[in-house]
Structure 1
């Protein structure tokens, strides 16, 4: 959702965002030009109902999610096709569904797709990559521009697209004179499994201000920018939006990748480690190892001459949304 709104804001033409996510009116930067078409979720109702017998959700391994006789999926695809028929878009950006990518291309509409990190050489990805006019990645050029499986040419790395790209940390936000170091632990909602190792870390760190945001039952804020900018170190998973937003704040980060399909977060963590942009911990590390990594990050943050880590420049946050918009504009012409 954040990436879609950022790219829509960087375009001059009319944009429609087709999504199952809830987008509040105040989040839309230009309601007259950027329209939202709410889509149903791609499973039947009620949500708790089991799949029908012989649902074959992967179509024999050729797709990721297209179960038979699911009303949500049927209505979703019908709405997308009807919208394309009535609005004849110049280009559609898929972020990121193999099934939607294929459905759009089957209408004869040019489609550009995001490519996520990880190993994506399975049959559905190969098929989707092959039908796209262009493929785009939300990571910097230093992370590489491979030819995705099934594609004919390299993808286009545009950098980390962040909703915070228009902001800059205020000088002195990370107060070097503060006696107690401040650690921000960002806990998302995607993993589903609570990593209890981190519960023991604050006590072992000693005299540290530990702030936790997100997670099941945790405190959530709509705009965590100030908390991020004030932290000497941030502990985070390795989701694309999380890394891009932390890069915008030029934060010093400890990355704890969570298990995801196709090893998405592990691949991002490997890239950050290879480029020397973050401290990375594994799911097998002990509490003592986590404590040591956080301490090392705090020492680096508080002893540095500047206020930032250099991640913003290295992750190419500035101009990323505009570069992605440029790819769409080039395809639309």
Structure 2
């Protein structure tokens, strides 16, 4: 029986889990997910987030090696998850570990004598921790189009990378509703500004505005503005929208491109300028209207009209319907190759 592939899933943002689940579902080889909050869907790990709620300066930053991003001292959650991961590796003897994403877990797997494939997100990831993680990996998987690549990315990293945009679950099939704007806020970003949404909806009453995800509800929202909060099937909501507005996170961009819906992207400031790199690629491909910030209410009519009138050709270049299957096959090939190169008597 083939030895399994382990897949570490980061808990910040929903895109990591959606990507992992899509690849696991498409794989003929057993893929076991490891991460926080997985419950019965994999190996559930203790939470390692800062007890203080803050990040830099509270994780031993003054003495943290350059090869690590996050290494808090005296954190029970970190101790527990390291023990759980290495315990599973010792018991399951995985052929390979996919890391999506963590420099620390990637190095931990390598120290435990397991080959790694690292998921590489867009942005300026040319710091020592990222580069050493990429160097130690057998291969790199980028769930974005090469147009979204950062100019700072070294050529050797690009050469090691398989680019597969659009790794996600299959899009929901639904006919889009005319004059419906869907505004999406994810769990990885800030809460939506209800007052700005209300101003936009009042200025353009011919559109029905629907908001999903965390957003502050204003005291007296206009009748054409609806706050739905968290929804069970955001893909279905996206498929029904005439226009989608949201940030440049990989999960949302992939879902919008899969549904082939007009998109207004407002990248958020994130570490390594990840979303700005994505926004640059979307603009270069003509796949979305990209804005530096939420505009004044008076501009939204023209913006929405421009989004609807855009050709879908650019969006379709960012969606490969077979991306999950291709990723699964590529991982299986790497796993088999790694075992064939292992020492005799494995």
Secondary structure at the counterpart of residue 279 of structure 2: helix
Contact 1:249 1:312 (8 Å CA) reproduced: no
CA distance in 1 between counterparts of 2:152 and 2:331 reads 19
Once the two structures are superposed, residues 246-300 of structure 1 have per-residue CA deviations (whole angstroms, 9 ceiling, x without a partner) of 11111011001111111111110110001000001112744444443223224x1
- Counterpart of 1:36 in structure 2 is 42
Change (3 A) 1:15 1:82: same
1:174 equivalenced with 2:176 (yes/no): yes
Once the two structures are superposed, residues 203-260 of structure 1 have per-residue CA deviations (whole angstroms, 9 ceiling, x without a partner) of 1123111111111465111112332222111101111011111111110110011111
Secondary structure at the counterpart of residue 203 of structure 1: helix
**TM-score, normalization by structure 1:** 0.83
**TM-score, normalization by structure 2:** 0.80
Q: Residues 130-141 of structure 1 correspond to what in structure 2 (within 5 A)?
A: 130-141=135-146
CA distance in 1 between counterparts of 2:230 and 2:58 reads 40
Secondary structure at the counterpart of residue 244 of structure 2: strand
Q: Residues 65-104 of structure 1 correspond to what in structure 2 (within 5 A)?
A: 65-104=70-109
Contact 2:245 2:264 (8 Å CA) reproduced: yes
CA distance in 1 between counterparts of 2:250 and 2:84 reads 28
CA distance in 2 between counterparts of 1:75 and 1:148 reads 34
1:245 equivalenced with 2:250 (yes/no): no
Contact 2:67 2:129 (8 Å CA) reproduced: yes
Greater shift after overlay, 279-288 or 269-278? 279-288
RMSD: 2.7
- Counterpart of 2:334 in structure 1 is 331
- Counterpart of 1:119 in structure 2 is 124
Greater shift after overlay, 194-203 or 67-76? 194-203
CA distance in 1 between counterparts of 2:280 and 2:235 reads 25
CA distance in 1 between counterparts of 2:163 and 2:102 reads 19
1:8 equivalenced with 2:24 (yes/no): yes
CA distance in 2 between counterparts of 1:72 and 1:247 reads 37
Give 5+ residue unaligned stretches, structure 1: 26-34
- Counterpart of 1:189 in structure 2 is 187
Shift of 1:103: 0.5
CA distance in 2 between counterparts of 1:200 and 1:96 reads 38
Change (3 A) 1:192 1:97: same
Shift of 1:135: 0.4
Secondary structure at the counterpart of residue 42 of structure 2: strand
Question: Number of paired residues?
Answer: 305
- Counterpart of 1:56 in structure 2 is 60
